[in-house]
Amino acid sequence: MDIKKSITISVLALILCLYVNAQKNPAPYGLNVNLLTAPEKVLLNGYPVFTPLDEAVTHRERFQFTEVSSFKPFFGWIVPSEENNTRQTAYRIEVASDKEMLLNDSADFWDSGKVQSSQSTNISYNGKQLTPGSVFFWRVKLWKNRSEESAYSEILQFKSADTFMDYATDRYPIQKKDDYPLIINPVGNNRYFADYGKAAFGRLRLNLYSENGTDSVTIHLGEAEKNGSVDPDPGASIRYSRMRIKPEKGWHTYILTIPPNQRNTASQAVLMPDYIGEVTPFRYCEIEDYPYPLQEKDMIRESVFYPFDEYDSHFHSADTLLNSVWDLSKYSIKATSFAGVYIDGDRERIPYEADALINQLSHYCVARDYNMARYTHEYLIHRPTWPTEWIMQSVLMAWEDYMYTGNISSLVQFYDDLKAKTLTALSDEQGFISTRTAKVTPELLRSIHFNGQLRDIVDWPHTGILGLEKEEGGEADGFIFTDINTVVNAYHYRAIVLMAEIAKAVGKEEDQQFYSERAARLKRSFNNALFDKKRGVYRDGIGTDHASLHANMFPLAFGLVEERNVASVLAFIRSRKMACSVYGAQFLLDALYDHHDAAYGLELLTSTSDRSWYNMILTGSTITTEAWDNKYKPNQDWNHAWGAAPANLIPRKLMGIIPLEPGFRKIRIKPQPATLESAEIMHPTIRGDVMVRFVNNPGQSFLLEVTIPGNTSAEVHLPFYSKKQKVLLDNQPIAYRRDGDFSVIDNIGSGNRVFTVER
C-alpha cells in the first residue's frame, strides 16, 4: 500500500471516529443565560432581524434586544441523552469578548476549566468582572457517565446592561408578527369581511388605493362576529373599534393607530412600549366603502406577543373536545402575553396575583420561559392588589418559580417580603388570621407594600358586585363571610407551609421551624373549629353553618383535609358541580386530581355545560374568557389568561408531570387518565423535554412511554390493578411499591422507556 493511500485511509478513519464520537457524545444545547434561552435575539421595531447582536449594538437603528443586568449572570444548558441513564459528571464554560478567541480555544473573561459537577443549571459566573454595555460570547462542553467528553456547544452571545444592578429579572423585548386573513369575503357593495382565524392583540396595516384621493373608508375591528359582519355591539367588555380614514391618491400603506383606552392606560395599567404602540384585541376586520379589489396581502394584522415558541409543547388525545380545550388554553397564554407582564385582560391591563399564579403555571407547561413569570411575581411584590388571599399568593408564586427553575436568587432577594406576605402578623393564638381585627396596622400594610384596605375575596365576582344587586349571583357559591374565613385561612396554611420550605431552601433553620410549627397548629385548629363532623364538610367560617364549594375545595387543594374525611369532602364537592369561577376552577381541579378523583376531573375538563371551557369556544372566543359566560359576569372580557387553567391542569394533573426536586432535578410522572383511552404530551422543562404517551384500557392494561431528559431521574406512577398484575419496564419485569391505586417505580434514569401493566 503506498503512503498516499495509507494517509487517506487514516484520515477517513479519523473522520469516521470523530463522527461516531460526536453522535455518541453530542454537544450540550438549549443554552441559557439568566434563564433566557435566546438573549442574542435582535428585533427592529418588534420584528426579528438577522443582524447579529454584536453588530446590532453598533448600528444606528431602533433595535431591541435583551440586556443582562447582573454582573454575575448564571448559565445553564440541556444535557443530551442519547443513551439511558445519562448523567453529567463535569463541565467547562468559556466566556470571551470576541468569538474568534473561543474558536481559537482562548477565553479572556472566564475559563472555568474542567469542573467536576453534575450541575447543569444556574451556574454563577465566576470570571473577570464583566464590562457594562458589552457583548460577550460563551460556550460549554461537558463530560458524562463514563468520562465521555462532548464537543463544545454552539457559541452564543449576550449583552451586558449599560448599568449593572444588584438584582433584576431580565426579559425579552415584545415581538411582532404579520398575520394575513384566512378568509376575505365581499359582504355587499364595496364592503369586505376578513377573518384572521384567532383573536390577537395588535393593529392593522392596510394597502389601499384611491383613484382621486376623495374616498372615505370605514374600518371595523372586533373580537365578535354577527351575521357575517363584525359585531358593533358585542356586549360585556368584548372589544369593537371603528375608524375612518381618507386614502391618498394612488397606492399607499397605512397603519391604523389605536386610540388609547382611558381605563386600560390609567396609572396602574401596564403600558405598551413606544416601539410597539397601542394595540387592541381583534379577530375580524371589516372594510366599508372601498370600491376596489382587496387581497390578503392588503390587510395585515401586526400581532404582538412576548416571544413564544409554538413547538416547545404539544398535546393530543383520543378526546377531540379535550384537544380543543388544550388548544384554546395554550394559545391564550401566547396571545395574552402582549404586555410582557401577566395582566388581567384588556379591560384594565393590571397585574393581579390570582391571574399571575394561573398564568405562571400554564406558561411553564407550554413554553420554556421563566422570566415573564418571575418578572410579574416580583412586580406584584411591590404592587399588590387588595384581596387578602391574593397577598398570600405571592408566596405560592415564589415557590413555583423555585421548583420550576431551581434558581434560588429570587427567594433570597425577596425573602423578608415573602415572610410578610404570609400575613402571619394577623394570626391569633389558634393560628387563625382575620382582616377584621385591629391587627391590620399601618406597619403591616407597609410590610406588604400595600396602601389600601385588605378584603377577603374567596372568588369573583361577588353577589351584586356589578351594581345589579341580587340579580347577579356571583361566583362564591353563596359563601358567608365571617371574621374567621375558611378560604382565607386555607390560603394562610398553604403560605406558611411553603414559607417553611422556602426558609429551608435559603438556610434559615429557625424560620423553618417557626413556620412548620405554625402550620401544624393551624391545621389542628382548622379541623377542630371549621369541620362539621356530622355532615362531613367544612363550614364557610366560624359563626356560620353554611358550607360552600370553596370552603371545601381550597382546604382539599392545600392539604388541610385529614385522610379519614377526604371521601365526604369529595362527595360534597361533586354535589356542587362547577359552582365557582374560572379562577376557582384551577383549585377545584387541583384538589380533585391530587386526591385521585380523575374521573370527575376529566368530566369537568370536557364538560359542554355553560360553565365549561368548551362553552368559551361555543360563544366564539379564541382566547379564554374572564368568566364562563356573559351572564355570570356581564362586564367580562374575552382575553383573560386566568381562564386558561387547562394549559397547566392537563400537563400537571391529567398527564401528571411535576418537579419533585427544584429545577426538575427529579420528576414525577403520574398519569391519571380515568376513561381517556390515549394521550401524548411534550412538556418543556429547564432540563429538556419530558414526553409522555399512554394507551389506556381501564382496569385491564396500561402502556406508558416516556422520554426523560438527561441529568434527571423520575418517579413513575402506573395503575395498580391487583397483586397478580404484571409490571414491565422495556419488556422486563420490574419491582414496584404500591401507593393506593398506583404502582410506583422509583429512580428511573433518563432516556426512552416503555412501561406496561397488565391485570
* Tens digit of each residue's pLDDT (9 = 90 or more) over 45-87: 999 999 999 999 999 899 999 999 999 999 999 999 988 999 9
For the chain, which domains are there? 3-159 (2.60.40.10), 175-305 (2.60.120.260), 312-383+578-655 (no CATH), 389-398+410-576 (1.50.10.10), 664-758 (2.60.420.10)
24 band by pLDDT with thresholds 50, 70 and 90 = low
Q: Residue type at 302?
A: E
Look at residue 618 and tell me whether its pLDDT is greater than 60: yes
H or E stretch covering 135: strand 135-144
11 band by pLDDT with thresholds 50, 70 and 90 = very low
18 band by pLDDT with thresholds 50, 70 and 90 = very low
User: pTM to 2 decimals?
Assistant: 0.95
HSE-CB for 356 with a 13 A CA cutoff: 35
Q: What is the mean pLDDT of the chain?
A: 95
More confident residue, 350 or 17: 350
Q: What is the pLDDT of residues 701-741, one digit of tens each?
A: 999 999 999 999 999 999 999 999 999 999 999 999 999 99
Query: What radius of gyration, in Å, describes the C-alpha atoms of the chain?
Result: 28
Please state whether beta strands 701-719 and 666-669 pair in parallel, antiparallel, or not at all (unpaired). parallel
Nearest to 550, CA basis, from 579, 521, 570, 571? 579
Cell, residue 34: 439568566
68 close to 39: Cβ distance less than 8 angstroms: yes
Cell, residue 463: 353577589
Q: What is the mean pLDDT of residues 330-352?
A: 97
Q: What is the pLDDT of residues 224-238, one digit of tens each?
A: 999 999 999 999 999
Q: What is the mean pLDDT of residues 444-458?
A: 97
Cell, residue 138: 460563551
Look at residue 306 and tell me whether its pLDDT is greater than 50: yes
Nearest to 234, CA basis, from 245, 220, 223, 244? 223
Dihedral sign of CA atoms 647, 649, 654, 660 in order: positive
Look at residue 641 and tell me whether its pLDDT is greater than 60: yes
20 band by pLDDT with thresholds 50, 70 and 90 = very low
Q: What is the widest separation between alpha-carbon atoms in the chain?
A: 100
Neighbour-count burial of 745, counting CB atoms closer than 10 A to its CB (0-12 exposed, 13-18 middle, 19+ buried):
buried
Total Cβ atoms within 10 A of residue 591: 24
Nearest to 672, CA basis, from 648, 637, 698? 698
Nearest to 397, CA basis, from 492, 495, 487? 495
Q: What angle do helix axes 509-530 and 486-505 make, rounded to 10 degrees?
A: 160
Neighbour-count burial of 429, counting CB atoms closer than 10 A to its CB (0-12 exposed, 13-18 middle, 19+ buried):
exposed
Look at residue 7 and tell me whether its pLDDT is greater than 90: no
Question: What are the residues whose beta carbons fall under 8 Å from the beta carbon of 668, sequence distance 6 or more?
Answer: 656, 657, 658, 659, 660, 714, 715, 717
Residue 505, phi then psi, degrees to nearest 5: -65, -35
561 close to 573: Cβ distance less than 8 angstroms: no
Cell, residue 444: 403591616
Q: Residue type at 738?
A: R
Look at residue 2 and tell me whether its pLDDT is greater than 90: no
Q: Distance (Å, rounded) from C-alpha 120 to C-alpha 127?
A: 18
Q: Distance (Å, rounded) from C-alpha 354 to C-alpha 344?
A: 9
Nearest to 307, CA basis, from 49, 40, 38? 38
Determine the pLDDT at residue 473: 76
Residue 723, phi then psi, degrees to nearest 5: -70, -20
22 band by pLDDT with thresholds 50, 70 and 90 = very low
More confident residue, 539 or 147: 539
Determine the pLDDT at residue 471: 57
- Please calculate the CA angle 531-604-363 and round it to the nearest 5 degrees: 95
- Please calculate the CA angle 507-509-510 and round it to the nearest 5 degrees: 135
Cell, residue 385: 392588589
Question: What are the residues whose beta carbons fall under 8 Å from the beta carbon of 626, sequence distance 6 or more?
Answer: 237, 344, 345, 347, 582, 633, 636, 637, 638, 640, 642, 643
Look at residue 6 and tell me whether its pLDDT is greater than 60: no
Q: Distance (Å, rounded) from C-alpha 435 to C-alpha 389?
A: 11
Determine the pLDDT at residue 472: 63
Q: Distance (Å, rounded) from C-alpha 180 to C-alpha 715?
A: 45
Quickly list H helices, 473-565: 486-505, 509-530, 550-557
The percentage of the chain sitting over the pLDDT mark of 90, rounded to a whole number, equals: 94
210 close to 219: Cβ distance less than 8 angstroms: no
Q: What is the pLDDT of residues 454-486, one digit of tens each?
A: 999 999 999 875 544 445 679 999 999 999 999
103 close to 166: Cβ distance less than 8 angstroms: no
Cell, residue 182: 384566512
Determine the pLDDT at residue 3: 55
Look at residue 681 and tell me whether its pLDDT is greater than 70: yes
Cell, residue 50: 438577522
Determine the pLDDT at residue 82: 85
Q: What is the DSSP string of 24-69?
A: HSPPPEEEEETTBS-TT-EEETTEE----HHHHTTS-S-EEE--B-
Determine the pLDDT at residue 55: 96
Look at residue 1 and tell me whether its pLDDT is greater than 60: no
Determine the pLDDT at residue 4: 53
Determine the pLDDT at residue 465: 58
Q: What is the pLDDT of residues 156-165, one digit of tens each?
A: 999 999 999 9
Please state whether beta strands 148-149 and 135-144 pair in parallel, antiparallel, or not at all (unpaired). antiparallel
19 band by pLDDT with thresholds 50, 70 and 90 = very low
Look at residue 15 and tell me whether its pLDDT is greater than 60: no
Q: Whose grid coordinates read 370600491?
A: 291
Cell, residue 336: 395574552
737 close to 692: Cβ distance less than 8 angstroms: no
HSE-CB for 185 with a 13 A CA cutoff: 11
Please state whether beta strands 678-683 and 666-669 pair in parallel, antiparallel, or not at all (unpaired). unpaired
Q: Distance (Å, rounded) from C-alpha 277 to C-alpha 258?
A: 8
